Every structure is written in C-alpha cells, then in structure tokens.
C-alpha cells in the first residue's frame, strides 16, 4: 500500500499553491472533506498547520501579493505578512526575507497512514482489497468496459475506475486508450528527528510558478516542513526523466542548500535519508477525473501531479457523485479525460 | 584502571570515564557501569546499548556538542566531552 507516489510525497493538502480556477475549487472541497475524514476515521497525523509562503526579493514579493490577493478575492484565507512579522510565524526563518503570506487552511497528513486508514475504513464498510493482484486487461462488451481481467481471474464490474496515478497511462493503454499522464520526478530529504523547529509548511514564492511550469529540465524550489514524528522534510524538485529512480546527489545538494537559505539553523542538522517518487503529470497540469467517453463504464481519477493526496478526498467524492449520476459538487468539466483529443 | 589497560579518559556528564585504545564510547560507558545515557523523545524512557553495531540508533549520545552520535560506533578519544542526550538532543531549537 502507498508504494507509489502516495508514499513518496509529503501528504500536502494545500490551497496556497493554486490559482483561482477549477483545481482550487476541487482543493477547497477536499480540505473540508479531509477535516471530516480526520474526525471520522483519523489515525493519520492530520494537522491543520497552515502554510507560510515567503519571498526573498521585492519582485518575488510583488508576485506573491498579486497571487494572494486573487486567492483572497476567490474566498481563500490569506494573510499578508510584513518582513518584520515573519519571525512571529517562524522564529528560525532567515532574517533577510522581504515578506510573506500565511494560508491558515493548508494542512498535512502522513500519506502512508492516510492511505492505510482509508483502506481499512473502506474494508470495514464492505470493500474488498486485493493487494498483489495485477490488472492485465479489461472485460469488454463492444466499446464498453464491463470489468477487469487480472492474473487471478475476471472481475466483472458495473464501473471501473483507473486510479493508478502515475501508472494510469499504462492502465488506460490496456483498454486501447491514450491517457497523457507522464512522470515528473521529485526528491525529498528527511532530517534527523527534531523538536518543533518549523511550525508550518514553509515554501518560497517561486514554488507556485515551478509547479505550473511545463519545462522538462530540473526545477528546484525550497519547501520545508516539520512532521509530528520529528523529522523535517525538505523538497522540492521537479524533472522529467521518465521512471528513472537513480538518486541524484546534485539535486539533493540543491535542496539542502535552498532549505538552509530559508532556515539557516538546518545547516547544522543531519539528513538521515532521502526518497523520491514520480508525480503523475498531465499536459495542462490538471487532474483527469470522470467517465471516459471512448470506453463507457471506465472512469479515470489520476494525473493529480503533486497534489494527489490533497485532492484525493474531493476526487473520490465527485467520482461517487458521477457514478450515482448526481451533479458533482464542483464543476469537473476542466478535468474531462477526453480534453486532450 | 591499570588492570584493564586503560590510561586515558573522556568526560561524561562532567566526570572522567576511562577507556582502552580503540574502545567505543558505548563500550567504555558500559564497562564503567553506565547502562543508560539517552531518554526517548516522547516518553523520556531510558536507552543505552541495544544492537551495539550501529543499526538501531538507540544509543545516541552528544559528543563534543553534536547530538545523535551512536555511542556504539564512535571510538572514544581523550578529551572528548560526552553528554547524555534528552530526546532529540536539540531541545534548544524548539519554537
């Protein structure tokens, strides 16, 4: 469980890194749903810690101010932080930063625990989980998908959902369909356990433009946050190198240097390990959610890039509504699987 | 001291602890009767040598101001200052 991208991220549930539009609508719904799931299921270190975005230059700050004003007008809570008040949010922040913004709605979960607890909750409500069973194809009735072929036999189904994340493209290909989900590699550094040194999710204003970039080359921007267990997590890098899992010391070095730039105190802290994973990346950076008209009966729920855990709750919610032929709570037109044709 | 072939000492929590050349800090502490030199992060439970071979990270200790050193694999040296460790060993950073 959580052996793919879910277990290779930081478990972010963010509104701060999203501009007004359909993905932010989905994120805002998801934040509310995660709160509810944390209360009803729990056991996965849900923490409504809030996000602090910081700028190191006046140009960066101007961009951040514009972004946060647009987000505020859209209903997102965003508080401007003058340079001299940054220390009240994060006492260890570098002192030469020029300002920031605080997003109290940003939250975090421990993603592997979240996946495990949600699966356990689903099983207690009657779901069957069959780990280790490989989907090898689809049962078809003409164009229709009416079930899944596996290495342990046929599984007939009224509806089939492709929630294979970064591997969703391969699953769609088994149905003869092209689904443009590509891997975008990222590394995370894990420090030795520390007391609370970083209170919020803290990242640099450039992160938002990095997320939105389509460049294949390496991008890094500092993202630093504590965890309830003690280690500080340090990201983020983005590069399109296929499914190459090779550790890259130059990338790790850049991540460490950028984190120290934001939090000089980390210079003296040991990194105990690093991990990496592959974000499921679609050409327009939006997830792919909904029925595939090319193969009735098949639904997709993948391509969330780095926001998969954050958007998971709302994705499941609107998919359930689509499956029941109800009007989804947020408009999913922008996420249509056939928009790439 | 001489019967164990020791001649040098390091400082552990303010007192001298003898060691043999090549001995780890952890081995020297145990030989001196110290079984616990760290408390856990959450429940402050006592910890000392467990695996003894660098794998379990139970025997963490502060060496010359640096926390989280594994007592079982850091070779003792004269004039080292070793302190027992509370939790992460970096409580002073807490905000």
Measured between CA atoms, the residue of chain B closest to residue A91 is: B95
Q: Which CATH class is domain B2-86?
A: alpha beta
Q: At what angle do helices A22-40 and A308-323 cross, to 10 degrees?
A: 90
Share of chain A above pLDDT 70, in %: 99
Helix (H) or strand (E) holding B10: strand B8-12
Give the residue among A278, A276, A231, A274 at the shortest CA–CA distance from A256: A274
Give the mutation candidate from B69, B90, B92, B94 for the A interface (greatest A CB count, under 10 A).
B90
A298-311 confidence digits (pLDDT tens): 999 999 999 999 99
Question: Which residues numbered 2-31 in B keep a CB inside 8 Å of some CB on A?
Answer: none
B23-64 confidence digits (pLDDT tens): 999 999 999 999 999 999 989 999 999 999 999 999 999 999
Asked if the Cβ–Cβ distance from A195 to B68 is below 8 Å, we say no
Q: Look at residue A138 in the predicted model and tell me its pLDDT.
A: 98
Instruction: Please tell me the distance from the alpha carbon of residue B33 to that of residue B36, in angstroms, as a whole number.
Output: 9
Measured between CA atoms, the residue of chain A closest to residue B66 is: A268
Residue that wins the pLDDT comparison between A196 and A210: A196
Instruction: Please check whether residue B94 touches A, CB under 8 A.
Output: yes
The arithmetic mean of pLDDT across residues B1-19, rounded, is: 81
A93-120 confidence digits (pLDDT tens): 999 999 999 999 999 999 999 999 999 9
Instruction: Please check whether residue B93 touches A, CB under 8 A.
Output: yes
Q: Look at residue B2 in the predicted model and tell me its pLDDT.
A: 44
Give the mutation candidate from A194, A230, A263 for the B interface (greatest B CB count, under 10 A).
A194
Listed by start position, the domains of chain B span 2-86
Question: Which residues numbered 43-72 in B keep a CB inside 8 Å of some CB on A?
Answer: 68
pLDDT at A143 over 70: yes
Averaged pLDDT score across all residues of chain B: 93
Averaged pLDDT score across all residues of chain A: 95
Which neighbouring-strand residues pair with A117?
A: none
A9-58 confidence digits (pLDDT tens): 999 999 999 999 999 999 999 999 999 999 999 999 999 999 999 999 99
Three-state DSSP class for residue B46: strand
> Which domains are present in chain A?
51-104+182-281 (3.30.9.10)
Can you say how many angstroms the Cα of residue A318 is from the centroid of all Cα atoms in its chain?
17
Q: Look at residue B1 in the predicted model and tell me its pLDDT.
A: 44
């Amino acid at each position: 469980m959580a052996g793919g991208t879910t277990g290779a991220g930081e478990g972010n549930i963010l509104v701060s890194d999203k501009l007004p539009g359909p993905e932010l609508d989905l994120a805002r719904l998801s934040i509310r749903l995660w709160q509810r799931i944390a209360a009803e299921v729990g056991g996965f270190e849900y923490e409504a810690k809030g996000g602090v975005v910081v700028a190191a230059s006046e140009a960066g700050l101007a961009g951040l101010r514009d972004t946060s004003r647009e987000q505020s007008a859209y209903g997102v809570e965003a508080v401007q932080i003058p340079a001299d008040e940054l220390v009240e949010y994060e006492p260890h922040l570098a002192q030469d930063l020029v300002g920031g913004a605080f997003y109290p709605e940003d939250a975090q979960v421990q993603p592997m625990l979240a996946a495990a607890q949600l699966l356990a909750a689903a099983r207690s409500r009657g779901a069957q989980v069959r780990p280790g069973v490989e989907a090898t194809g689809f049962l078809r009735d003409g164009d229709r998908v009416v079930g899944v072929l596996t290495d342990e036999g046929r599984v007939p189904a009224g509806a089939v959902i492709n929630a294979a994340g970064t591997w969703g493209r391969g699953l769609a290909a088994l149905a003869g369909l092209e689904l443009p989900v590509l891997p975008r590699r990222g590394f995370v550094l894990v420090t030795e356990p520390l007391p609370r040194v970083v209170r919020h999710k803290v990242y640099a204003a450039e992160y938002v433009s990095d997320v939105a970039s389509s460049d294949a080359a390496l991008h890094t921007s500092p993202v630093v946050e504590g965890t309830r267990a003690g280690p500080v997590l340090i990201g983020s890098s983005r590069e399109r190198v296929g499914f190459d899992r090779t550790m890259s010391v130059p990338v790790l070095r850049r991540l460490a240097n950028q984190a120290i730039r934001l939090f000089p105190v980390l210079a003296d802290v040991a990194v105990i390990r690093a991990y990496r994973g592959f974000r499921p990346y679609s050409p327009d950076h939006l997830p792919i959610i909904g029925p595939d008209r090319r193969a009735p009966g098949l639904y997709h729920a993948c391509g969330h890039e780095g926001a998969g855990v954050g958007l998971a709750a709302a994705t499941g919610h609107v998919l359930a509504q689509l499956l029941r032929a109800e009007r989804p709570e947020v408009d999913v037109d922008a996420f249509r699987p056939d928009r790439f044709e | 001291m001489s019967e164990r072939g020791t001649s040098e000492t390091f400082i552990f929590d303010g007192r001298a602890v003898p060691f043999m050349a090549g001995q780890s800090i952890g081995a020297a502490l145990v030989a001196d009767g110290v079984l616990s030199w760290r408390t856990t992060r959450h429940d402050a439970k006592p910890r000392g040598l467990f695996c003894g071979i660098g794998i379990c990270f139970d025997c963490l200790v502060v060496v010359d101001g640096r926390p989280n050193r594994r007592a079982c694999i850091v070779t003792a040296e004269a004039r080292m200052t070793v302190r027992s460790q509370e939790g992460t060993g970096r409580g002073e950073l807490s905000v």
